[in-house]
Chains A and B, each alone.
Chain A
Amino acid sequence: MVTSDGRILRYTLGERVHHWMAGLSYLYCLVTGLAFWSPYLFWMAIIVGGGATARFWHPWFGLAFAVAVLWMYKIWRSDMLITDADRAWWKVSQNYIRNEDENLPPIGRFNYGQKIFFWLMLYGAILLLLSGFALWFVESISWSLRWLRYLAVAVHVAVALATIGGFIIHVYMGTAMVRGGFTSIIRGEVSTAWAKTHHRLWYEQVTKKTSGQK
């Protein structure tokens, strides 16, 4: 896992592909979804080819997003289970917000916040997919079952807003706040110092494995 120049592989190529498949399809759905959300944001549909084009592609990109997220669930499920170490970390997580990381207990490959974001997006994707199907084929829902149409609107809007909240924090932390995070999800590698600072238990685990193989 540790390369010759002291860097550690954090995300395999497959993991990076899944992440960006989810990320870019989410971004498209976000832009077009916001256009449908408010007349004051309808210009967002214009920049991606107009309202009718946006309406045509939004469900297909949504489908791609759901597939990517379900794929992530398959490969990251065990890494995303919440452990006792995470709960201990969460209790003092105000130190994390204040950048006083020296007062935090060591944690594994993902911290509690990342795990919450993962589960938010997983359940969010499932709910958006189900309600999205109802909105996609709204006329197939018979008049007597029209409460399903209303439920789909309510669920799609509420869940989309929840994921947007997570998305804002995720992008902020991955780019501006935790330096090195953005590079890691593009090129896959982090420095040993980065691994030790942010995910010490994971660092110890992967270095042990590497030395064990030698």
Chain B
Amino acid sequence: MSQASAQIRKISGHPGPTPGANVEPVYTVCKLIDTTTCIGCKACEVACLEWNGYPFRETVFDNSYQTMPETAWNYWNLIKFNEVERADGSVSLLMRKDQCMHCAEPGCLAACPADGAIVQYSNGIVDFQQDHCIGCGYCVSGCPFNIPKFNPETKKMFKCTLCVDRVTEGLEPACIKSCPTGCLHFGTKDDMKDLAESRAQQLREHYGFANAGVYDPAGVGGTGVIYVLHDVTNPEEYGGLPRDPHIPWVVRLWKGPAKWIGNLAMLGGIIGVTLHYLRFGPKQVKADVEQKGEQP
């Protein structure tokens, strides 16, 4: 297990090939969050803080059970509470555990300019390496889920690691361990997909949730965290889960074609002025003008 996750598939800001680029992953790990059985107890929030060694931080009250408006650099796991009024006048209290989604195609990693500051292991975990992080915040612009957060004291970025230190040792992430209802599951991506699909089918066939389904967005190549939602056609209701997340097109343009167009343009400019000098040389100040210039 430790060998599989130690292999690195993708490295941010890295010139040349990635060491583990050709490694065939044994499996991809995945966290399944069944929002239909979450009771909003926040045991996962506490377990996350405990395992990662952060003290409980100040909360922000905003007329709901939610601990704070969004995740923070030292608060990686946050249950988002949303009251949604249905057409028949009833109210649903939707709860979704928010954290890094561990995208197969991570926007943070694509945007990062620092060599090795963000890596993706062959088991799919996306991890920040703070000793290589330069604190530029480009990952903030690259992420479609609003996850990377800046620590102003150390000037480094932080986010959920999917407990890579636990997973590497064959343990499940701390949040999974703490869940009292069993709404959190951890395993291989294939197993979690099967489990999620069967639960969604159950919700559709036996519980009257006609739109129940699995959230595993294809726009970012699928995610290492998947959800079962009562209504998969309205992910925004669950604390702003994006309907069709993808790496922002500006970031893709910037890190793709713009790079090569820009590099060619800069190189072309340098070659251009060199050729000009070889062909035409420097401008001469005319000697006769010099003499005439001395007249009173």
Interface residues of A (CB under 8 A from B): 6, 35-40, 42, 45, 50-52, 54-56, 97-99, 101, 135, 138-139, 143, 146, 149-151, 153-154, 157, 161, 164-165, 168-169, 172, 176-180, 191-198
Contact = CB atoms under 8 A, between A and B. Distances in A.
A157 B258 contact: yes
A37 B134 contact: no
B11 to A, nearest CB: 9
Contacts of A192: 290, 293-294
Nearest to B146: A143
B134 A51 contact: yes
Contacts of B265: 161, 165
A157 B259 CA distance: 10
Given A37-B262, A97-B276, A191-B290, A150 B141 contact: yes
Interface of B: 13-15, 70, 113-115, 132-138, 140-141, 146, 149-150, 155, 240, 248, 250-251, 253-254, 258-259, 262-263, 265-266, 269-270, 273, 276-277, 280-287, 289-290, 292-294
Nearest to B259: A38
Given A138-B141, A143-B70, A194-B285, 17 more contacts: A38-B263, A42-B15, A42-B113, A50-B134, A51-B113, A97-B276, A153-B250, A157-B254, A161-B265, A165-B266, A165-B269, A168-B269, A168-B270, A178-B283, A191-B285, A193-B290, A196-B289
A138 B285 contact: no
B158 to A, nearest CB: 12
B262 A177 contact: no
Contact of A153 (B135, B254, B282, B292): B254
A44 B92 CA distance: 55
SS class of chain A's interface: helix, strand, loop or mixed?
helix
Contacts of B259: 37-38
A14 to B, nearest CB: 26
Contact of B282 (A38, A40, A55, A176): A176
A78 to B, nearest CB: 26
Nearest to B269: A168
Nearest to B12: A39
Highest count of chain A CB atoms <10 Å: which of B114, B140, B258: B114
Contacts of B70: 143
Closest 9 CB pairs of A and B: A193-B290, A51-B134, A192-B293, A172-B273, A150-B250, A138-B137, A168-B269, A39-B15, A55-B134
Contacts of A52: 133-135, 155
A179 B140 contact: no
25 contacts: A6-B293, A36-B136, A37-B113, A37-B259, A39-B115, A45-B134, A51-B134, A52-B133, A52-B134, A52-B135, A56-B155, A143-B146, A150-B141, A153-B141, A153-B250, A154-B254, A168-B266, A169-B269, A177-B282, A179-B285, A191-B290, A191-B293, A193-B285, A193-B286, A196-B293
A149 B140 contact: yes
Contacts of A176: 273, 277, 282
B293 A139 contact: no
A194 B287 CA distance: 10
A177 B293 contact: no
A56 B135 CA distance: 8
B134 A54 contact: yes
A139 B137 contact: yes
Contacts of A50: 134
A178 B280 CA distance: 12
